[in-house]
Amino acid sequence: MKLKKTIPIILILSVVLSCVVWIWMQHTAPEGKTAEIRISGKIVNILDLSKDTKLTIEGKNGIVLNIVVSNGKIRVLSSKCPDKICVNQGWVSYEGTAIVCLPAETVIEITGNSPPATDA
């Protein structure tokens, strides 16, 4: 009888602990320095997250995405895709996180790489 009572408690504690670890990892991850924009797996742009930027790109299937970089973060402001998951994801800034628009076959991934060199 004791085993039947302790199994749900152990499961609940495991889920809570997993959530706490996940949240902690999100807040301790290093902030990325650049964002790589890939369409169908090919890098089409690398953005320096320290420079505020507005950019419009056309992904696959003629889907246009409006991208904004501000205060070290990036987001898809608007998209012509049907589901808007990429827009609803909001701002991202931590290394390893990504914004994905499947209909446009577009991925924006935050990297820890140094920003690309600029010509003076």
- d(C-alpha 17, C-alpha 38), whole Å: 35
| C-alpha closest to that of 60 among 81, 46, 89 | 81
| C-alpha closest to that of 26 among 114, 96, 106 | 96
For residue 117, the model assigns a pLDDT of 59
pLDDT in tens, 44-88: 999 999 999 999 999 999 999 999 999 989 999 999 999 999 999
For residue 112, the model assigns a pLDDT of 79
- Position with higher pLDDT, 29 vs 98: 98
For residue 2, the model assigns a pLDDT of 66
Checking if the pLDDT of 116 tops 90, the result is no
Checking if the pLDDT of 4 tops 90, the result is no
Task: Give the single-character DSSP code of 32.
Answer: P
DSSP code per residue over 61-114: GG-EEEEEEETTEEEEEEE-SSS-HHHHT--B-BTT-EEEETTTTEEEEEE-SP
For residue 15, the model assigns a pLDDT of 83
Checking if the pLDDT of 8 tops 70, the result is yes
- d(C-alpha 33, C-alpha 26), whole Å: 16
